[in-house]
Amino acid sequence: MTRGEKSLLLYLEICLVDWKGLVKSVHMSKEYSSVVASLTEQDFIKFTRLPLPKLTEDSFDVAPPFTHQVVFSEKAWKFVHRMRRDRAETYTKTFEVKKEKKVIPNFSRSNPKGLER
């Protein structure tokens, strides 16, 4: 899966968690329409346009309005969870590496960043 496809899935996951699956399509680039179609075709996600009554009910109090709704399959949830977990582990490893370096603050003009040991 490409970086763009992963990014799209993470955005859609945020929409599911924070906005009850409602999506603002203005936040998606035009290239993503083919990706959404492909993922829908594979039954990875269900992506539908909101009917007009639903649009007027929920959307016009926020700008820009919600235009679509997304639902994830079980496979999509597992995939997105794995991506989030991998990202978190990457950050944790970075933190551990930084934690291992000991820096003694030295604020003299000759070495403003401190000495590394």
For residue 20, the enclosing domain spans 3-116
| CATH number of 15's domain | 1.10.10.10
pLDDT digits (tens, 9 = 90+) for 65-111: 788 899 999 999 999 999 989 888 887 776 665 655 665 565 555 55
**Whole-model pTM over 0.75:** no
> What is the tally of structural domains in the chain?
1
pLDDT digits (tens, 9 = 90+) for 87-99: 888 877 766 656 5
Residues ≥6 apart with Cβ < 8 Å to 28: 8, 11, 36
